[in-house]
Amino acid sequence: MTTAAHTDVTASPTAVGSGTAATDKFKNERVWADTPPERVAAIAKDALAALNQVILDHEVTYPEYRVLKQWLIDVGEGGEWPLFLDVFIEHSVEEVLAKSRKGTKGSIEGPYYIPGAPQLPSVATLPMRDEDRKVTPLVFSGQVTDLEGNGLAGAHVEIWHADDDGYYSQFAPHLPEWNLRGDIAVDDNGHYEITTIQPAPYQIPTDGPTGAFVAAQAAHPWRPAHLHLIVSAPGKSAVTTQLYFRGGEYVDDDVATATKPELILDPVAGEDGKNHVTYDFVLDPA
Ligand code: MBD
Ligand code: FE
């Protein structure tokens, strides 16, 4: 395996463009975890033991070790740690969280969430360009409830997804700031109806070190078409999740290992030329 030492930062949109934006976004969050030294020691010891055992099992050579070192440097310099970690590692962190939840299944957040999207009413159309309007519209409706099925007034459905070319606004310079992003306030019974467009399968950037990692294994860099959501309500535990489309490409072979059977939509093509689907969200208590 070889990795590109330098990537053109002027071309757009590129892996390095989206990677840098994702890294800048992440660095602006103040991350912190209340982890005591004993737990840090236990996790660090097991993590290093696992990696060292892989090296022994596979008889990793010095040339391979040096390529690894260069690649780790490249991931950092390319700003791709958020991308790489969210694609290959976040699903296990989510799996740990999921064990303590009864409501709607969660999935990974990924690197492209931005808080503060435009506030929209319970029946709303996401911000989109004329170009996006050429894509099949998707009317996505449902209700946010508690575990007992009571509608939750005051709930919010935050939604973000890629356009038909696989680009997320604020991670591709040619897109309007809030394209295909919104924060929907449900009605008094917890209902919402969001009009957007049918998303397409998403290819993780192939021109950076994460793409090199995938290509070096002769693997594919695709995620199935998906909607990202964070659903929240006062006094409830918010759920971060994704929804997919039955029969869609890569639904059974997601590079990010982030699909679940409960998260697959079955849209119906309406006579109005739009795809229609309902999905209800169930929130655990806080
Ligand atoms: C995505 O759109 C995504 O959802 C994840 C998890 C990783 C990279 C890009
Ligand atoms: Fe995504």
The series of mean pLDDT values per 10 residues for the chain, 286 residues long, is: 40 65 84 96 98 98 98 96 97 98 98 97 98 97 98 98 94 95 98 97 94 97 97 98 97 98 98 98 98
Q: Which ligand 1 atom minimizes the distance to the CA of 87?
A: 7
User: For a substitution probing ligand 1, which of 86, 164, 241 has the most ligand atoms within 8 Å of its CB?
Assistant: 86
Could you check whether the bond before residue 13 is cis, i.e. omega within 30 degrees of 0?
yes
Question: How do residues 140-192 score in pLDDT, each as one tens digit?
Answer: 999 999 999 999 999 999 999 999 999 999 999 999 999 999 999 999 999 99
Indicate the pTM of the whole model. Answer: 0.93
Number of domains in the chain: 1
Q: Does residue 25 sit within a domain?
A: no
Residue 60, in any domain of the structure: no
pLDDT score at 164: 94
Residue 104 domain boundaries: 95-282
- Under the phi-then-psi rule, with left for phi > 0, alpha for psi from -120 to 50, and beta for the rest, what region is 257? left
Tokens of 172: 């591709």
- The neighbour count for residue 69, using CB atoms within 10 Å, is 10
- Residue-level pLDDT at 27: 82
Q: Is residue 251 part of a domain?
A: yes
* Ligand 1 atom nearest to 108, measured from its CA: 6
**130 within some domain:** yes
The ligand that comes nearest to the alpha carbon of residue 86 is 1
Given a contact cutoff of 8 angstroms between Cβ atoms, the answer to whether 220 and 214 are in contact is yes
160: closest CA among 199, 193, 121, 191?
Answer: 199
**For position 274, which CATH number holds?**
2.60.130.10
- CA 22 to ligand 1 centroid distance, Å: 11
C-beta of 110 in contact with ligand 1 (< 6 A): yes
| Residue 32 resides in a domain | no
Name every residue whose Cβ is closer than 8 Å to that of residue 281 and which is 6 or more positions away in sequence. Answer: 103, 104, 142, 143, 144, 145, 155, 157, 229, 231, 239
86 found inside a domain: no
